[in-house]
Amino acid sequence: MEGTMSRNSGDKVPTMVDVARRAGVSPSTVSYAMTGARPISEATRERIQQAMLDLGYRPNVFARGLKSKRSHIIAVLFPKDERGMNLGSMEYIFGASDHAQNRGYHLLLWTSGAEELDDLAGLAQQGLVDGALLMEVRLDEPRVEVLRNSELTFTMLGQTADPGDLDYVDTDFDQCARLAVTHLADQGHRHLGFVHQDAATIASGRGNAIRLRDGMLRAAQDVGVALTALTCQSHIAGGRKAFAELLTADPQATAVIAFNEQAVPGLMAAAVEHGWRIPEDFSVVSIDMPAQAALMTTPTMTTVGPVAAAMGKAATEMLIRRIEGQQLRGPSQALFDGELVARASSGPAPSTHRAVIHP
Amino acid sequence: MEGTMSRNSGDKVPTMVDVARRAGVSPSTVSYAMTGARPISEATRERIQQAMLDLGYRPNVFARGLKSKRSHIIAVLFPKDERGMNLGSMEYIFGASDHAQNRGYHLLLWTSGAEELDDLAGLAQQGLVDGALLMEVRLDEPRVEVLRNSELTFTMLGQTADPGDLDYVDTDFDQCARLAVTHLADQGHRHLGFVHQDAATIASGRGNAIRLRDGMLRAAQDVGVALTALTCQSHIAGGRKAFAELLTADPQATAVIAFNEQAVPGLMAAAVEHGWRIPEDFSVVSIDMPAQAALMTTPTMTTVGPVAAAMGKAATEMLIRRIEGQQLRGPSQALFDGELVARASSGPAPSTHRAVIHP
DNA sequence: CTGAAAGCGCTTACAG
DNA sequence: CTGAAAGCGCTTACAG
């Protein structure tokens, strides 16, 4: 397990001067060889490379940062209080982390709440990070102003109400809505429910819920099916309540699309207790539910959502380009298509009238 | 939303020299006032404090790190490939993050695989981080040697087979086993199953599964109930298979304890398909399943496990003390008790013989 | 209790 | 294509 670059303990950490001496060049030449800021002859470059390898040289991050004002560290602003834990956010972060490492960047995890703006301002002004990835973006996002004021480069995962020229990567919720509605309509469902989040969350709110609901209504209209949209508290009881409300609002509903991970189990349980088998009598599709959660439900959940890791990667690349001053003309903004993963919770609409067993 | 420390844009970032000038002292005095490395008169301290506030001063992390060899950054070594995503790990990280911020530290998220030791060695030797929090610790943990060789301070969340004098925070699996077994025994269950992870994972393997199984067998013996331990692949089909195996191995089993988040839905589905209602005919308890996952199952899952956030916090405190050179005598090692959260998946043992409906 | 000065290990104009 | 030198903003012996 001994690497070629292992050093005996007791050796001091080699500096650029050590490398320069060993390669028989000046320290500045070593530096230029690393940054590529000016041309170096092939021969010296190779000697330097070899010397670095021999010594197991790693540039000192602090010395570099002190002079260059670049840390090669990106902050991931992931307010923990926003939606509770959720696996989807983790997938973004892993996608971002992977790509950051490939590009020679580190990720600093910042979990302060979205309201703790002074903390954030402190981070931004400290110069520790070169840029930030903004997660859990709300329609009216107070962090944006803080980041702008401190002139920290950032990219959003999600959008504000009016992103203007801000960089972002987001899900194409219109397309997701269409995909989910079409999936169900194709299987004969004519009356759908859409269960999203509670009114306060939506209003407050991260933009997704609103954009998705609008997309749903539009898609239903285009496809020619009825759609009842319901708000719903993000817990099991909320899901039960939503099912009851759907039943009242549209007794003919044979399927529901949910954008509320926490409420789905309650929704399903209520359907089963009502005497409806899933998917034979009633289909359920979830928007943007991570695979791992989709496999926890019984039956496993059909989902529509983007590949979160790919979005995390894209956002990171966008941010790094911005940091490194490339691609400066105009904002970079990208929408990611969702994919349908058909699992066991959705199927053909019940052909005959369902037997409704009131327990 | 304007803080007192806001600066007009165009101002350059204030340095220690600026603060010193405004406070009418030398830069070194400002430094000493910040580090507390030597006594400062109350009067000057206050003038300095005020000057820092007025200017919105933030010490430059790189300059500080260059001299002091301290970054106030802690790496969280969280190999993403280990168990897939999981919410439990996230809770540790949030606990750690919270506490790190309170103590003036940042968290660097490192998601390279547990096998990518060269990457890790690079990080450790770079001097970027003052220490590391080691997550997803295996019995035979290759990362430990790397960290030791590079003389990076670290604390483990979990233990190796022989932790010796390594610092760690871990779950008290003996106590968890006892708690789970007792919970079921108290409700009249006399024949239990224990479903843990697949043989490869256990052997390879993070130590938890082994320690937990041993604890289970001991607890069952102590309490006087039968316990059948089964390995199980970590997916839905694995859970189904485990249920079938349990049925064969001990037809009298009325409850199962699972340490396999991904297999639990399959296990429950198989029980239901077998004609057993949960919990009336068959109880299920999960070890170390995060609340959010426990609420996704139907019915909601009774769990035994420690408060992950508290463990993350404890590990972080341990690490910071080590970094800052306090509490140097001997290793610090802590075991955390699990707590029982009784939800809907467990209940009294069936008094009469269950009706077994073969579908 | 306080100051003047060296130096941490790089980067980057300046010079050739 | 390469070198010598200044300087980034702190910390910390050294001196008083």
Mean pLDDT by 10 residues, chain B (359 residues): 40 84 91 87 90 88 86 92 70 93 92 88 86 91 91 91 91 95 97 91 70 92 96 90 96 95 90 93 94 85 94 95 75 93 96 55
Q: Which CATH architecture has domain B173-306?
A: 3-Layer(aba) Sandwich (3.40)
Q: What is the pLDDT of residue B172?
A: 94
Fold of B73-171+308-337: Rossmann fold (3.40.50)
pLDDT of residue A8: 43
Span between the terminal Cα atoms of chain A, in Å = 64
Q: Are B290 and B341 in contact (CB under 8 A)?
A: no
Percentages (nearest 5) of helix, strand, coil residues in chain A = 40, 15, 40
Task: Name the nucleotide nearest B70; use CA and C1'.
Answer: D11
Q: What is the pLDDT of residue B267?
A: 94
Domains of chain A, by residue range, sit at 1-54, 73-171+308-337, 173-305
Task: Kindly state the tokens that stand for B176.
Answer: 């968890």
Is any atom of strand C within 7 angstroms of residue A67's beta carbon? yes
Among residues 210-269 of chain B, which lie with CB inside 8 Å of chain A?
A: 235-236, 261-262, 264-265, 268-269
CA neighbours closer than 13 Å in the CB half-sphere of residue B137: 26
Q: Report phi then psi at B118, rounded to 5.
A: -65, -40
A151 class by beta-carbon count within 10 Å (0-12 exposed, 13-18 middle, 19+ buried): exposed
Q: How far is the CA of B314 from the C1' of C2 (A)?
A: 39
Domain A173-305: which topology? Answer: Rossmann fold (3.40.50)
Per-residue burial over B287-322, b if 16 or more Cβ lie within 10 Å, else e, is bbbbbbbbbbbbbbbbbbbbebbebbbbbbbbbbbb
pLDDT tens column, A71-118? 899 999 999 876 655 777 888 999 999 999 988 899 999 999 888 998
Q: Which residue is nearest to nucleotide C6 (CA to C1')?
A: B67
Interface of A with B in 49-78 (CB under 8 A): 56, 58-66, 71, 73, 76
Summarize the confidence of residues A129-148 as an average pLDDT. 91
What DSSP line would sit under B269-291, residue for residue?
Answer: HHHHHTT--TTTT-EEEEES--H
Of A85, A127, A142, the CB nearest to B91: A85
Tens of pLDDT along A35-66?
888 888 888 999 999 999 988 888 888 898 88
Which of residues A2 and A294 earns the better pLDDT score?
A294
Instruction: Supply the DSSP symbol for B303.
Output: E
Query: Which residue in chain B has the smallest CA separation from A148?
Result: B9
CATH class name, domain A1-54: mainly alpha
Closest nucleotide C1' to the C-alpha of B41: C1
Name which of A253, A110, A125 is nearest A191 in CA terms: A253
Question: What pLDDT is stored for residue B358 in this prediction?
Answer: 46
Taking alpha carbons only, the member of B10, B14, B48 closest to residue B29 is: B48
Q: Pairing between strand A333-336 and B73-77?
A: unpaired
Interface test with A, best of B128, B234, B284, B303 (most A CBs within 10 A): B128
Q: Do A117 and B1 touch (CB under 8 A)?
A: yes
Tell whether A34 lies on the interface with B, counting CB pairs under 8 A.
no
A7 has pLDDT over 60:
no
User: Closest partner residue to A236 among B109, B125, B300, by Cβ?
Assistant: B300
The protein footprint on chain C, as nucleotides within 7 A of a CB, is 1-5, 7-13
CA within 13 Å, CB half, A24: 5
Residues 290-309 of B with CB under 8 A from A: 290, 292-293, 295-300
Amino acid at B165: D
Mean pLDDT of the region A243-250: 96
What is the mean pLDDT of the segment spanning A142-148?
A: 92
Mean of the per-residue pLDDT values of chain A: 87
Report the nucleotide nearest the CA of residue A64, measured to C1': C10
Residues of B within 8 A of A261 (CB-CB) are 296
pLDDT at residue B346, as a whole number: 97
pLDDT confidence of residue B9: 41
Which residues in chain B have Cβ-Cβ distances shorter than 8 Å to A142?
A: 1
Q: Is A325 a residue whose pLDDT tops 50?
A: yes
The closest of A315, A304, A333 to A95, measured between CA atoms, is A315
Strand C within 7 A of A237 CB: no
How many other C-beta atoms lie within 10 A of the C-beta of residue A27?
A: 14
pTM for the model: 0.85
